[in-house]
Amino acid sequence: MNRQEYDLIVVGAGHAGCEAAAAAANLGSKVLLITMNMGTIAQMSCNPAMGGVAKGQIVREIDALGGYSGIITDKTMIQFRMLNRSKGPAMWSPRAQSDRWLFSSEWRLALEQTDNLDFWQDMVKEILVKDQRVYGVKTGIGIEFYSKSVILTNGTFLNGIIHIGQKQLGGGRMGEAASFGITEQLVSLGFESGRMKTGTPPRVDGRSLNWEAMEEQKGDEKPDKFSYTDTQALSKQRSCYITYTNSKVHETLKEGFDDSPMYTGRIQGLGPRYCPSIEDKINRFAERERHQIFVEPEGWNTVEVYVNGFSTSLPEAIQQKALRQIPGFENAKMFRPGYAIEYDFFQPTQLKTTLETHLIENLYFAGQINGTTGYEEAAAQGIMAGINAHLKINEKEPFIIDRSEGYIGVLIDDLINKGTEEPYRMFTSRAEYRILLRQDNADIRLTEKSHRIGLASDLRLKNVQEKIKQTQTIIDAFHKTSITPMEVNTMLESKETPTIPQNYKLFQLISRPQLHIHDFQGLPSADPILTGTREDAKLQAEILMKYDGYIEKEKEMADKMQKLEHIRLHSEFNYQSLPSLSKESREKLSKLKPATLGQASRISGVSPADISVLLVHFGR
Amino acid sequence: MSIFAPMYQYKPEDTIAALATANGVAAIGVIRVSGPNTYAILDEVFYGKTPSEQQSHTVHFGRIHDELKELDEVLLTLFKGSRSYTGQDTIEISCHGSPYIQERILELLIKKGCRMASPGEFTLRAFLNGKLDLSQAEAVADMIAADSEGALKTALYQMKGGFGQEISALRSELIDFASLIELELDFSEEDVEFANRDQLVELIHKILKATDRLIESFRFGNVLKNGYATVIAGKPNAGKSTLLNALLNEERAIVSDVAGTTRDTVEEAIQLNGVLFRFIDTAGIRHDAESEIEKIGIGRALEKIKSSALVMYLFDASSESLETVQQEIDKMDLGDARLILVANKTDKASEEQGSALAEREDIVRISAKDKSIAPLVTALNKLASEANLGSSGSTVSNIRHLEALTQTKDALEAALKGIDLGLSGDLLAEDIRRAIHHLGDITGEITPDDLLGNIFGKFCIGK
């Protein structure tokens, strides 16, 4: 086998690896994607869905940057819902059920059609390092590939152990082998590793379920989609179903507790508190009489369904018995049992803002290896690592998204500064500028920024510029145009909002909670403004006018905070020389090497007093 | 960091020294030395037990020598390592209270390698070494500047962290509130209970009550620090300046028999029974003023009246009738100020007027010229003690804290309004986060982690 030279090698072809490989290749790097199995590219190991609260916003951001996740989801979804429509615009969250197999194969096709991208099926056993710098990888069958940088996206495969009751088997996913060697090598290089745990529910045969006994959850009547490009929205959809556990189910599950790997101490890793197993739920919240179960189809044609909310690692016989006590599941046949999986991760505090490791130059980590959970979180890290690996090779400035610019910025900033003790999932409450980080404006926030480095296409840029232009035109016109009582009062009455006694400017009315921009369509003064404009521009204008006060307040806050973000800290600064810092603070700062004072202020253990010390030391 | 203005280059490696007691002749003076070389320097100049070999928190008698020349007999109080005010090695030298001796000792210390401390630098070090939080450090600054017992009490309370604790308690209640809202936002798809809006309203009201009380206390706290703003108003020649001088016991304002002598306002602070008053003498108010300057003076007087805490309206009992006094008062805009009516020149008043005055309990009778103003001092003290919000409870005396509390209040009121309008949770959460943020401004920072920690600890969530 020839020794091959690449700019970048991506290890692992999950959501992180695929986005990383695509981004770097599209930017012009020569990329090799190595996966243990070419048949499971972009596998949805957990539930067959993309998006949801906070996660949907991330998918939009990835799309705005020029990533593939949004497009692939649009091509493979079987149901779309905009969650939280009754809440404010910052909470609107797109979520789609996908056809699991279609999702994987569409990803593979998209990668196959990407220039500069090669594939290799093998297990990477070792990374090649010289003088604290990575220069390639060595595979299980002994081949060495050389490259300028390497991104590790190993997911749950590093020393993965699957637990079902007392049974234990090595594996990265059910039926797939685990990967060995990398953790040990990284630890010997000086990295700190840890253990995490996650779980998945049983899959059952849809033909064995009584759907009548469950509550149907349909997709949106007018389904939206993820990508800002011209992908198609769905014309037909599949439904999900909702049912509940009961005290009988709980009693049955308790029978298996003695064999639970969780309670017998077999599992050492930390699991996510917000995505507990069903046994954890009934244990910790004994007062709850029932827990919700979402029954999700796995694709257009398959009968396999995913029992969301019933993640468990109890013995399969107990799983089966308990499942059959759930309404609608009386005759349920299991395809495969739920299981828990333990795997190695590396505290993300060992990373720079670019996801490059502090320890080894040109080595990047992305996805679950950093202690995160979720396809969206993984894909977001992947695209950022891919972009930054490419930029570094080409000696360009790093590409950083601020906390006020995107959930991706919040995600990475949290990870590298705070680390994580449980699988990290994104929530809107993690973002201090939630009102700014909406799913409707990810393109406005990020597309131009990504276009500048050459990732987002000209077409994407033109599209968002047109959207911005039309939005501004509508807002300007709403401020200038008056409407008469005669023209508008009938409409106001029908919307149960007070009529107006004299002429009003349009923008004064749009701020009323009962009114939406499409209510003005057809009114003689407003119609010329709205006819012929894009739907997304109308929505954008409505949001910007309606929530102006809140948006402005957050912008002010973000600007205020920016001051700390702009005070740069030297990565080689000797914090030990500042005795006035607390001991913990000196250690944390020396280890984490924050790039800015703002970053330092978010490191746990660094107190406001410590920040004042740094502020004084580094000048104003 | 405004309290440490001007900002210095922070150099913790310097050993600093300064006179810690007030300048001037006194029985004793204290010079404070702090920094890494404190003990090395004192070992060299102190004749007695070697300071570096002694225990922390001990006192030693000895002499300070400049080479062979003895400067003074002193007591050294030793504080070692982090167990000191600044968190660094510190020695306090109690010497004789002569400016000459103190200067010589300081000169000697500087010769041996100390640097003169900048104003507030000891406190800055204490703050930067984590010995004090921000509100405590500010309290120290206040304490040093405290002119009265009340101000000292407030500053002491704040320094012990009482104020910070009260704010923290409020904030943690708000965090609970915020987590309820965040829960229904981030887990809206799941089977979670919704935050009960009525309970939320109740909680906001409770917190608003506390912030209102703290904001209200600012008036009092500010009074303690800066004095109770008391305007002396009245017609020209009612004797306002004479009264001020009587209160001050010195000729401060220009006093003359020519009406309209005081053309601008004159301020003077004076402590009466432990309460600081800031007396503001104003131009006499007359509606036929001719000169421009006098008109400006009268304008200012009227402004002062509006913004003061207390107005003493002084009238000449020998020439003004009670009816005309009432008419004058009715014309004034008192703002929030409380009013004391003071009859001056009662010694010259007619008998008829005298008995009319005697019937009015709300009128204080004095004769400023004779310095017989005891009834007025009693009345002022009575008012001040009514205004005193008691020795328990926190008092806000810092403008930065007031701002933070006012912003908190704004945010909470916006949240209440939002609940009323049926605004969605994400917008309510915004107002509540703002309130939490501003409260955090006073003591420290709040991270969203606190919210999430709260959520996970208390609620069952997760598919």
Q: What is the ipTM of this complex?
A: 0.76
Q: Side chain identity at B390, as an amino acid letter?
A: G
- pLDDT above 50 for B70: yes
Segment A378-387, tens digit of pLDDT: 999 999 999 9
Q: What residues in A contact B188, CB-CB < 8 Å? A: 53, 83-84, 87, 91
Distance CA(B394)–CA(B23), nearest Å, equals: 32
Domain B140-222+398-444: CATH superfamily, name plus number: tRNA modification GTPase MnmE domain 2 (1.20.120.430)
Task: Report the pLDDT value the prediction gives residue B462, as an integer from 0 to 100.
Answer: 37
CB contact under 8 A, A428 and B128: no
Asked if B190 has any chain A CB less than 8 Å from its own CB, the reply is: yes
Q: Is A321 helix (H, G, I), strand (E, B) or coil?
A: helix
How many CB pairs (< 8 A) connect A and B?
Answer: 132
Distance CA(A615)–CA(A127), nearest Å, equals: 40
Where is pLDDT greater, at B395 or B99?
A: B99
The residue of chain A nearest to residue B178, with distances taken between CA atoms, is A429
**A23-37, A330-344, A576-590, B129-143: which range is least confident on average?**
B129-143
The residue of chain B nearest to residue A513, with distances taken between CA atoms, is B423
Interface test with A, best of B135, B193, B430 (most A CBs within 10 A): B430
Task: Report the pLDDT value the prediction gives residue B134, as an integer from 0 to 100.
Answer: 58
Where is pLDDT greater, at A25 or B104?
A: A25
Asked if B194 has any chain A CB less than 8 Å from its own CB, the reply is: no
- pLDDT above 60 for A365: yes
pLDDT band at B461 (very low <50, low <70, confident <90, very high): very low
Mean pLDDT of A246-266: 88
Shortest distance between the Cα of B182 and any Cα of chain A, in A, equals 6
Where is pLDDT greater, at A466 or B139?
A: A466
pTM: 0.74
Q: Which of B186, B190, B449 sits opposite A428 (nearest CB)?
A: B186
Asked if B191 has any chain A CB less than 8 Å from its own CB, the reply is: yes
Segment B315-347, tens digit of pLDDT: 888 888 888 888 888 888 877 777 888 888 888
Segment B225-266, tens digit of pLDDT: 566 778 888 888 888 888 887 877 644 444 444 454 454 556
Q: How many whole angstroms from its chain centre is CA B87?
A: 26
The residue of chain A nearest to residue B190, with distances taken between CA atoms, is A292
Share of chain B above pLDDT 70, in %: 70
Task: Report the pLDDT value the prediction gives residue B157, as an integer from 0 to 100.
Answer: 58
Q: What residues in B contact A84, CB-CB < 8 Å? A: 185, 188
- Is B78 within 8 Å of B55 (Cβ atoms)? yes
Shortest distance between the Cα of B452 and any Cα of chain A, in A, equals 8
- Is A435 within 8 Å of A550 (Cβ atoms)? yes
Q: Side chain identity at A573, as an amino acid letter?
A: F
Q: Which of B10, B12, B448 sits opposite A429 (nearest CB)?
A: B448
**H helix or E strand, kind and range, residue A30:** none
In chain B, residues 376-435 whose CB comes closer than 8 Å to chain A: 421-427, 429-430, 433-434
Protein fold of B16-131: Gyrase A; domain 2 (3.30.1360)
Where is pLDDT greater, at A412 or B316?
A: A412
Task: Report the pLDDT value the prediction gives residue B252, as an integer from 0 to 100.
Answer: 47
Taking alpha carbons only, the member of A548, A572, A570 closest to residue A475 is A548
Q: Which of B130, B433, B463 sits opposite A609 (nearest CB)?
A: B130
Interface test with A, best of B186, B194, B419, B443 (most A CBs within 10 A): B186
CB contact under 8 A, A308 and B182: no
The residue of chain A nearest to residue B424, with distances taken between CA atoms, is A87
- pLDDT above 90 for A120: yes
In chain B, residues 238-257 whose CB comes closer than 8 Å to chain A: none
Where is pLDDT greater, at A569 or A192?
A: A192
Task: Report the pLDDT value the prediction gives residue B400, as an integer from 0 to 100.
Answer: 62
pLDDT band at A237 (very low <50, low <70, confident <90, very high): very high
- Is B89 within 8 Å of B38 (Cβ atoms)? yes
The residue of chain B nearest to residue A82, with distances taken between CA atoms, is B189
Segment A156-185, tens digit of pLDDT: 999 999 999 999 998 888 888 888 899 999
Q: What is the mean pLDDT of chain B?
A: 75
**A317-326, A400-409, B79-88: which range is least confident on average?**
B79-88
Q: What residues in B contact A48, CB-CB < 8 Å? A: none
| All structural domains of chain B with their residue ranges | 16-131, 140-222+398-444, 227-390
- Is B191 within 8 Å of A292 (Cβ atoms)? yes
Task: Report the pLDDT value the prediction gives residue B438, as an integer from 0 to 100.
Answer: 82
pLDDT band at A469 (very low <50, low <70, confident <90, very high): very high
Distance CA(A324)–CA(A317), nearest Å, equals: 11
CATH 3.40.50.300 fits B227-390, yes or no: yes
The residue of chain B nearest to residue A427, with distances taken between CA atoms, is B186
Task: Report the pLDDT value the prediction gives residue B133, as an integer from 0 to 100.
Answer: 63
**B31-45, B153-167, B429-443: which range is least confident on average?**
B153-167
- Is B29 within 8 Å of B19 (Cβ atoms)? yes
- pLDDT above 90 for A618: no
- pLDDT above 60 for B460: no
pLDDT band at A266 (very low <50, low <70, confident <90, very high): confident
- pLDDT above 70 for A399: yes
Mean pLDDT of A366-382: 97
- Torsion region of B368: left, alpha or beta (phi above 0 gives left; psi -120 to 50 gives alpha): alpha
pLDDT band at B436 (very low <50, low <70, confident <90, very high): confident
Q: Side chain identity at B114, as an amino acid letter?
A: C
- Is A594 within 8 Å of A581 (Cβ atoms)? no
Q: What residues in B contact A418, CB-CB < 8 Å? A: 449
Interface test with B, best of A87, A244, A429 (most B CBs within 10 A): A429
Mean pLDDT of A330-356: 95
Q: Which of B425, B456, B463 sits opposite A273 (nearest CB)?
A: B456
CB contact under 8 A, A84 and B185: yes
Distance CA(A485)–CA(A26), nearest Å, equals: 55
Interface test with B, best of A616, A617, A618, A620 (most B CBs within 10 A): A616
Task: Report the pLDDT value the prediction gives residue B148, as an integer from 0 to 100.
Answer: 53
**N-terminal to C-terminal alpha carbon distance within chain A:** 58
Sequence-separated (6 or more) residues with CB below 8 Å from residue A149: A7, A8, A9, A134, A362, A363, A364, A389, A392, A393
Taking alpha carbons only, the member of A9, A13, A1, A10 closest to residue A38 is A13
Distance CA(A64)–CA(A60), nearest Å, equals: 6
Same fold, B140-222+398-444 and B227-390: no
Structure letter (DSSP) for residue A350: G
- Is A196 within 8 Å of A419 (Cβ atoms)? no
CB contact under 8 A, A616 and B10: yes
Asked if B129 has any chain A CB less than 8 Å from its own CB, the reply is: yes
CB contact under 8 A, A427 and B129: no
Share of chain A above pLDDT 90, in %: 76
The residue of chain A nearest to residue B11, with distances taken between CA atoms, is A617
- pLDDT above 50 for A487: yes
Distance CA(B115)–CA(A72), nearest Å, equals: 68
